[in-house]
């Protein structure tokens, strides 16, 4: 009976070492932030505090930063923008993937071209439109500017093209119209792409500071990132307190990504590049 052989080639060993080193480099700052947040108030920040660990920084940061209202606002805005993007991206992506009409390729190129335009370049016209619509200092000012996204349209368009047309033809024979085919056939089969779009959009909106800073001034509309920026301005020299506030703002999106990472990876991996 032959013994099992563990054949680890030199290139594989080298690539594994590079990946491990990269992971350490990426995770080390996060570890420093996390450990520093548990340093007792009044103690010198260090890797292993002499006075042990403490949750006092989290209690103080939560109360002083008024994160409860900020969490509610960020969650509302992120969910609303995500819902709008999933709706608009599904409709537009399906039309570009399946419907035959004049100018489809030109429209697709325009959608792709929007990906290279920074939102900051559009802030003045967007601000004027929101002001004309009396949406400044409202939740709509945080939702409408990013309710449609070219990345989401392109992502779902590419994923829809990987789904066999025969499934749609079978649904059409049973009497389903285009919207019914999209809702009952295409979207259930596109769950990995939808989860990918959900994660991208929700995390992007949660981490957005630009829109709340430009389009709102009312304290009751403060989001997590705006509250975090204001908090850091007040407690610049209190590193443990600052690190606790950063952890509070970061943990929700990290947990969300961990929950949906399998579908996220599958959505990225299976989204083809068919024309």
Superfamily of domain 75-270: MetI-like (1.10.3720.10)
Angstrom CA distances, 113 to 160, 188, 197, 272, stand at: 20, 29, 19, 19
CA-to-CA separations, 163 to 1, 159, 222, 272, 273, in angstroms, rounded: 47, 7, 42, 10, 13
- CA dist 39 and 49 (Å) reads 6
Helix, strand, coil share of the chain (percent; to 5): 75, 0, 25
In whole angstroms, give the CA distance from residue 241 to residue 146: 32
Q: Is 209 in a helix, a strand, or coil?
A: coil
125-159 as b/e: b if 16+ CB within 10 A: ebbeebeeeebbebebbbbbbbebbbbbbbbbbbb
- Is residue 38 a contact partner of residue 54, using CB atoms and an 8 Å limit? yes
3-state secondary structure of 74: helix
Q: For residue 46, give Cα distances in angstroms to 59, 70, 75, 235.
A: 20, 30, 34, 18
Cα–Cα distance measured from residue 85 to residue 147, given in angstroms and rounded to the nearest whole number: 5
Q: Which pLDDT tens digits describe the chain residue by residue (275 residues)?
A: 455 554 555 567 788 888 888 888 888 888 888 888 888 776 666 666 666 677 888 888 888 888 899 999 999 999 999 999 999 999 999 999 998 889 899 999 999 999 898 888 999 999 999 999 999 999 999 999 999 999 999 999 999 998 999 999 898 988 889 999 999 999 999 988 999 899 999 999 999 999 999 999 998 999 999 998 888 887 777 888 888 888 888 888 888 888 777 766 666 666 554 54
Distance CA 8, CA 17 (A): 12
Contact call for residues 55 and 38 (beta carbons, < 8 A): yes
215's CB contacts (< 8 A; 6+ apart) are 127, 130, 136, 137, 141, 142, 145
Q: What is the pLDDT of residues 122-179, one digit of tens each?
A: 999 999 999 999 999 999 999 999 999 999 999 999 999 989 999 998 989 888 899 9
137/130 Cα distance (integer angstroms): 9
Residues contacting 217, CB < 8 A, separation 6+: 137
Tokens 């920040």 map to which residue? 45
Domains of the chain by residue range? 75-270
């Amino acid at each position: 009976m032959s013994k099992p052989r563990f054949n680890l080639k030199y290139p594989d060993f080298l690539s594994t070492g590079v990946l491990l080193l990269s992971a350490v480099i990426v995770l080390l700052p996060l570890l420093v932030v996390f450990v520093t947040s548990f340093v007792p108030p009044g103690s010198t920040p260090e890797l292993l505090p002499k006075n042990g660990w403490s949750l006092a920084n989290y209690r103080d940061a939560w109360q002083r930063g008024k994160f409860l209202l900020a969490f509610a606002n960020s969650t509302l805005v992120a969910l609303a923008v995500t819902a709008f993007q999933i709706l608009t991206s599904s409709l537009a992506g399906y039309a570009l993937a399946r419907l035959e009409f004049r100018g489809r390729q030109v429209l697709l190129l325009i959608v792709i071209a929007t990906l290279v335009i920074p939102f900051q370049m559009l802030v003045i016209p967007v601000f004027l439109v929101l002001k004309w619509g009396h949406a400044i200092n409202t939740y709509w000012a945080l939702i409408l500017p990013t309710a449609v996204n070219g990345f989401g349209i392109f992502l779902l368009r590419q994923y829809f093209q990987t789904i066999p047309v025969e499934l749609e033809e079978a649904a059409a024979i049973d009497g389903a119209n285009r919207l019914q085919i999209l809702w009952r056939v295409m979207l259930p089969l596109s769950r990995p792409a939808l989860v990918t779009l959900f994660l991208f959009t929700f995390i992007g909106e949660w981490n957005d500071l630009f829109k709340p800073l430009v389009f709102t001034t009312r304290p009751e509309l403060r989001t997590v990132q705006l509250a975090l920026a204001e908090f850091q301005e007040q407690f610049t020299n209190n590193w443990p307190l600052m690190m606790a506030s950063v952890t509070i703002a970061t943990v929700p999106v990290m947990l969300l990504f961990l929950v949906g990472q399998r579908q996220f990876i599958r959505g990225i991996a299976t989204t083809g590049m068919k024309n």
